[in-house]
Amino acid sequence: MDIIDREYVEKPDKEKLYQAAMKGMIDSLDPYSGYIPIESFKPFQAIFDQEFGGLGVSIDGPPRRERLTVVATLFDSPAYRAGIKPGDVILEVDGVVCANEKVETASKKLRGKEGSAATLTIERANEPEPLKIRVVRARIDVESVLGDRRKLDGSWEFAMEEDPRIAYTRLELFGEKTTEELKAAIASVQKECKGLIIDLRDNTGGLLLAARDICDMFLDDGDIVSTRGRDDRIDQRYTAKQGTEIANTVPIVILINEHSASASEVVAGCMQDRCRASIVGERSFGKGSVQNVIPLDAGMAAMRLTTAYYYPPSGRLIHRKPNAKPEDTWGISPDEGAQVKLDEAAFMKAIDRFRKRADPMENGLGKPREVEESSEASQLNLQMDPTLKDDPQLEKAVEILKKKLGK
């Protein structure tokens, strides 16, 4: 840097040189280590703190969708109050075209300081011209535990419409508040809960300690996960404490897919090894490495550095190495007979089902929905969710629990 500063043909920006050097060094290690510069550090922290300044929309886009699309609006959020609806395509943010941008890039445009405004150009079905909607950002408390369907007051119903004996929880990430949110969800259906589904599909991870605590909610003792650093030395071994949130006799099914990674694999691997849950879906991503966030620049920036691999109780390695083949052992695989693969069309149909379940006006709670109950459903006093067939993986999880509970 000193030589460049003295000899380069033009006066260089030393801060840019420093950031480029840090990024180059750390990026060369593995895909999960990285340099977090000053401008990115607060947004990075906000993900796991589960609060940030924003609009309150959940979006999806390329490559899974052709264009940037609103999947859901958080109840009573700025976007909800401004009239933004699920299915809206975001064409522009403050005049900048973004319809074909990746979700990560577009999300940065939507977030910002509380009180600041963003003008969205929206394409909406059945509207002849694009709409311009001004939304003022506010503090958004991110939900990390969702339920079967959202009620009119914005809260979630965790008892399944298909069978109220089964509680359904969908974990979006493992953040600071996830454990308490999951405890509250289970407490809300404690009396009726005879079976539990924990949906970890598309959950790419988060805090290892949150994963540990969630496993501890369902285990009385024994190993949860261990981490091993260089030379295969054990750094940490986490074990369960006495006491559980639900009785040990309550069966649990965990849903995973190819996007379930890191902390999701900690939970699925532990619960599978300890024979506490059935695993349904598709083989997980295979990210079994632990990253520590090390502060730099007086705490204004940070380095995310891989320092260990984690191992579930059986001691198997979850991490997929760069040269791993499909036939090699890595990730978490569903139980025998519980593998349910979805092609792209089925995957999108399942996503769309959940989007509608998050909207009270589409899930039947905001308006009457005529559902013809079978005689069997009437006898069991069950409502029979007609949309369940649109999500074969969830349907399989429900089938497994129903068999265990008995009809």
Q: How far is CA 117 from the centre of its chain?
A: 27
Q: Are residues 372 and 332 in the same domain?
A: yes
Instruction: Work out the mean pLDDT of the chain and round it to a whole number.
Output: 89
Q: What is the pLDDT of residue 366?
A: 61
Number of domains in the chain: 2
Whether residue 383 is predicted with pLDDT greater than 90 in this model: the reply is no
How far are the Cα atoms of 44, 103, 175 from residue 35, in angstroms, in the given order?
A: 11, 21, 21
Q: Are residues 166 and 296 in the same domain?
A: yes
Q: Which of 141, 164, 182 is the last residue of a domain?
A: 141
What is the C-alpha separation between 322 and 328, in angstroms, rounded? Answer: 12
pLDDT in tens, 22-47: 999 999 999 889 998 888 887 777 66
Q: Are residues 208 and 294 in the same domain?
A: yes
Whether residue 23 lies inside any domain: the answer is no
pLDDT in tens, 164-192: 999 999 999 999 999 999 999 999 999 99
The DSSP annotation for 150-207 comes to E-TTS-EE-B-SS-TTEEEEEE--B-TTHHHHHHHHHHHTTTT-SEEEEE-TT---B-
Verdict on whether the full-model pTM lies above 0.85: no
| Virtual torsion, Cα 38, 43, 48, 51, nearest 10 deg | 130
Whether residue 389 is predicted with pLDDT greater than 90 in this model: the reply is yes
Whether residue 373 is predicted with pLDDT greater than 60 in this model: the reply is no
Mean pLDDT across 309-316: 95
Whether residue 380 is predicted with pLDDT greater than 60 in this model: the reply is no
Q: Are residues 219 and 314 in the same domain?
A: yes
Give the domain CATH number at 102. 2.30.42.10
Whether residue 340 is predicted with pLDDT greater than 90 in this model: the reply is yes
Across 1-50, the runs of DSSP E, i.e. the strands, are 34-36
Q: Are residues 226 and 122 in the same domain?
A: no
Mean pLDDT across 336-365: 87
pLDDT over 70, % of the chain = 93
Q: Which of 106, 141, 176 is the last residue of a domain?
A: 141
Mean pLDDT lowest among 82-91, 178-187, 303-312:
82-91
Do the Cβ atoms of 120 and 136 come closer than 8 Å?
no
Catalytic annotation, pick one of 148, 199, 213, 273: 273
Q: What is the 3-state composition of the chain as percent helix, strand, coil, each rounded to the nearest 5?
A: 30, 25, 45
Active site residue 273: yes
Catalytic annotation, pick one of 107, 226, 262, 264: 262
Catalytic annotation, pick one of 144, 177, 264, 287: 287
Active site residue 262: yes
pLDDT in tens, 124-147: 988 999 999 999 999 887 789 999
Q: Are residues 298 and 384 in the same domain?
A: yes
Tokens of 146: 């969702």
The DSSP annotation for 40-51 comes to HHHHHHHHHHTE
Residues linked to residue 382 through DSSP beta bridges, in sequence order: none
What is the domain range of residue 180? Answer: 145-405
Strands 166-171 and 145-146: antiparallel
Whether residue 266 lies inside any domain: the answer is yes
Give the domain CATH number at 258. 3.90.226.10
Whether residue 41 lies inside any domain: the answer is no
Q: Which of 141, 170, 193 is the last residue of a domain?
A: 141
pLDDT over 90, % of the chain = 63
Active site residue 402: no
How far are the Cα atoms of 41, 42, 67 from residue 21, in angstroms, in the given order?
A: 18, 21, 35
The residue with greater pLDDT, 43 or 70, is 70
Whether residue 3 is predicted with pLDDT greater than 50 in this model: the reply is yes
What is the C-alpha separation between 100 and 112, in angstroms, rounded? Answer: 21
Q: Which helix (H) or strand (E) covers residue 278, if one does?
A: strand 278-281
Whether residue 33 lies inside any domain: the answer is no
Whether residue 104 is predicted with pLDDT greater than 90 in this model: the reply is no
